[in-house]
Structure 1
Amino acid sequence: MREPKPYWRDVPLTLRKQVEEKMASSIRTATRVFGGYGPTATFRIFLEDGRTLFAKGAGQGSLPENWRVLPLEEAVYREVRAISPISPRYYGSVSTQGWHLLLLEDLKGSKKVPAWTEALAVQAMRDLAQFHVQGIAEADKVEAMSARGVTENWLSMKQSSEERNYFLDLFHENRDEAEAWLDAVLDVLIPLETDLMRQDQPWGLIHKDIRSDNLRFRDGRLVLFDWALACRGPLLFDIGFFFPSLEGEGGPTAEHLLPIYKKEMAEYGIKFPEFAEQAVAVCAAGFFATRAGKPPIPQLPRLRYIQCLQLGPALRWTCNLLGQPQPPKLSPLKDE
């Protein structure tokens, strides 16, 4: 099931005219583009002069959250130079009542993932390391990351039977085994969550939402888009929350890729304490554990499937890192 997105015919004529003026070319045609997991307005625009561009933003049917984060993303494109080597080119924005679109370089023809290869995953680690190094100097241009929704998920599972049951229901026939596992590890996981926000680790500019639907490879190099959540935060957050997506889609594991990222960063004198690795693994697992089993969101029909896909690898990595027993296998979810 696809997300409900507006058609190009829904876009007001005044906004189309603004695009033509901004790009100094008339529009030949445009099509809506699917990607991500929400009802964001996204279009590929074909100009009469032969160029194409990608337009994304908020419009008919967009959620309040789309409207809230859009100005934040636009500010990143406008003001943060460090993203230039790793993001699409930004051409500006257009707006009218009920609509606001960012105009970006079209990445049509670039390589999508999955399927992941080791070479692509390794390249992603190296390119993210370069971005993190360059972004440190501009970290003050964005807001500091909030701990809300990230550092209290295992705690909420201990305090709320409803949260606990959402998680355990993901195991179906293995529910009893999963409950025994949860009781055995919960008090180990809870105190590690709060370590995520400790200041005695490398902080800087982070993307904060790295998944396969937010990236492409162009000429063998990583390109990231959807910068709406960019903030100043622990650098390992970007990597740690990316690993479950990679492994869940058939790519290499965190254990294989993290040393590559750390080696790249060490060349610039940036090293990570052990607690930082443990904290981000625990928080990633807790984030997906408290979301994957909840009821579907109508406007985000594939979200729970994706969260469950990432939960398995996040739990595996966390338990392996901490020397804890592995949970039973999750019951499969259908991608509808």
Structure 2
Amino acid sequence: MAFIYSPPEWLAQEKKPQWDELHVVVRQDISAALKSEILSAEPTGDGYSPKPSFFLTLADGRELFIKGERPDATARSQHLFALEVLGNKELRALAPFRPRFITDIKTQGWHFLVHEKIQNAIHPMPWTSEKLTALFQAFCGVYSCFSSRSDAPSWVEEAKASKEGGIGDLYRGVSVWENLNLPDTDPAKRFYKEKLFAAFTNPEDAAAWFTLALPSLMAHEQRTGDIKSFSNLLHLDLRQDNLLFQKNEKAGLRAYVLDWGHLYWGPVVIDIVRLIKNIYSEGGPNPQETLSLFSTTTGIDFPKDDVRVGLSAITGQMALSLVEEFTHEEARCNWVQRLQAIAGLKWWAMEMGLPPVPELAPLPRPTISRPVYIPEKARPA
């Protein structure tokens, strides 16, 4: 099955450094750290950022996955990457649920993470009940490893309601719904409304639908800090790009969860609602059916109000993509955020008994670009 919001034909993969564009010293240092000659490095094309990632084939027969944080990355991005490395090193309880960590490598301002390549990996799409069950069983295993906050390292931050920002913190409170809750005299409210409605094929239909939906979206979002569901480790970036499956004749289907870079401690309902919304956006089942399967598989039942609070907050943050400008380099990221936003709105309509959500307009072509990072090899002396 296809995405519920199709990418335009012009949408292209972000430009990422190729292996031979990396400085020769960087490549030599990676080879030295892995203690083997690198025979080939195949770009993976994963993700929605300019981070390079490769499947490496080594002379000693190993096949590995490597990804790197660039020297020009933001401080926040570098911090998250360092946390992902730290999690791979210290959170050994997660070992059954992710690829085996090999090492991390720092060289020439780059920071690389290396783990095993999952052989005969099965992609999540198309989603099936077998894949969903295996994934939910994996998360049940994760939760059983951390029965209380004290079981997690102190460096795992506790998710709290705040407006301080940070890509991983879904409690940051910055969303379209928050801005639409401003006084009518505030020009920001008018701006957000106009931009939001214009993102749909028929702005008048969108305005009429949001007139019905916004009161409940705003009211539930304001209660994000009051979620009562049990807390555990949060991944906060659960979507098909960060999931893989592997079939084993004896053990059956096994789920792997990748990219544990946004680790927090907080209400599990936030993670699961985000995951189920994304599964729906990726052509998966009706989210209410998937939530029921999660409960049946794990024995975890979330209060309906907690589900709605989490859904309103997450969808409001994804809806920022409908009103914010984006560059050519950010186009794929903006598309996937719009995909997640419309999935959340469709789920909200089901939850609240609202009319169907109007059709979202195709992703507009961006008119601005940001400077492209020049790998060391191509930089002038």
Query: Same fold, TM exceeding 0.5?
Result: yes
What CA distance in whole angstroms lies between the structure 2 residues aligned with 1:335 and 1:257?
34
| Deviation for aligned residue 1:34 | 0.8
Tell me if the contact between 1:136 and 1:203 (Cα under 8 Å) persists in the aligned partners. Answer: no
- Note closer, same or farther for the CA distance 1:298–1:139 as it changes in structure 2 (3 Å cut): farther
What CA distance in whole angstroms lies between the structure 1 residues aligned with 2:118 and 2:195?
38
After the TM superposition, which residues 71-220 of structure 1 pair with which residues of structure 2 at under 5 Å, given as runs? 71-137=82-148, 138-141=151-154, 142-147=156-161, 148=163, 150=170, 151-153=173-175, 154-159=177-182, 160-172=189-201, 174-198=202-226, 200-219=228-247, 220=253
After the TM superposition, which residues 1-336 of structure 1 pair with which residues of structure 2 at under 5 Å, given as runs? 1-59=12-70, 62-137=73-148, 138-141=151-154, 142-147=156-161, 148=163, 150=170, 151-153=173-175, 154-159=177-182, 160-172=189-201, 174-198=202-226, 200-219=228-247, 220-266=253-299, 270-333=300-363
Tell me if the contact between 2:67 and 2:113 (Cα under 8 Å) persists in the aligned partners. Answer: yes
- Note closer, same or farther for the CA distance 1:28–1:122 as it changes in structure 2 (3 Å cut): same
Identity among equivalent positions (%) equals 27
What CA distance in whole angstroms lies between the structure 1 residues aligned with 2:174 and 2:140?
28
Which residue number corresponds to residue 8 of structure 2? none
Mean Cα displacement is larger for which, 131-140 or 158-167?
131-140
What CA distance in whole angstroms lies between the structure 2 residues aligned with 1:181 and 1:36?
33
| Deviation for aligned residue 1:188 | 1.8
- State the one-letter code of the partner of 1:145: A
| Deviation for aligned residue 1:133 | 3.1
| Deviation for aligned residue 1:65 | 4.0
| Deviation for aligned residue 1:293 | 4.3
- State the one-letter code of the partner of 1:230: L
- Note closer, same or farther for the CA distance 1:136–1:196 as it changes in structure 2 (3 Å cut): farther
What CA distance in whole angstroms lies between the structure 1 residues aligned with 2:275 and 2:290?
11
- State the one-letter code of the partner of 2:336: I
What CA distance in whole angstroms lies between the structure 2 residues aligned with 1:121 and 1:333?
29
- State the one-letter code of the partner of 2:85: E
What CA distance in whole angstroms lies between the structure 2 residues aligned with 1:42 and 1:3?
12
What CA distance in whole angstroms lies between the structure 2 residues aligned with 1:26 and 1:132?
39
In structure 1, the residue corresponding to 2:233 is in which secondary structure? strand
| Deviation for aligned residue 1:62 | 4.2
Tell me if the contact between 2:227 and 2:306 (Cα under 8 Å) persists in the aligned partners. Answer: no
What CA distance in whole angstroms lies between the structure 1 residues aligned with 2:19 and 2:130?
37
What CA distance in whole angstroms lies between the structure 2 residues aligned with 1:231 and 1:297?
29
In structure 2, the residue corresponding to 1:240 is in which secondary structure? helix
Can you give the 5+ residue segments of structure 1 that lack an aligned partner in the other structure?
none
What CA distance in whole angstroms lies between the structure 2 residues aligned with 1:139 and 1:275?
27
Tell me if the contact between 2:124 and 2:131 (Cα under 8 Å) persists in the aligned partners. Answer: no
What CA distance in whole angstroms lies between the structure 2 residues aligned with 1:277 and 1:214?
22
- Note closer, same or farther for the CA distance 1:330–1:51 as it changes in structure 2 (3 Å cut): same
Q: Which deviations, in whole Å up to 9, do the C-alpha atoms of 1:91-139 show, x marking residues without a partner?
A: 1111122211011111253011322223222322232233233244434
Which structure shows the higher helix fraction?
1
Can you give the 5+ residue segments of structure 2 that lack an aligned partner in the other structure?
1-11, 183-188, 248-252, 367-381
Q: Which deviations, in whole Å up to 9, do the C-alpha atoms of 1:122-162 show, x marking residues without a partner?
A: 32223223323324443454111243464452121333222
What CA distance in whole angstroms lies between the structure 1 residues aligned with 2:227 and 2:341?
27
Q: How many residues get paired?
A: 332
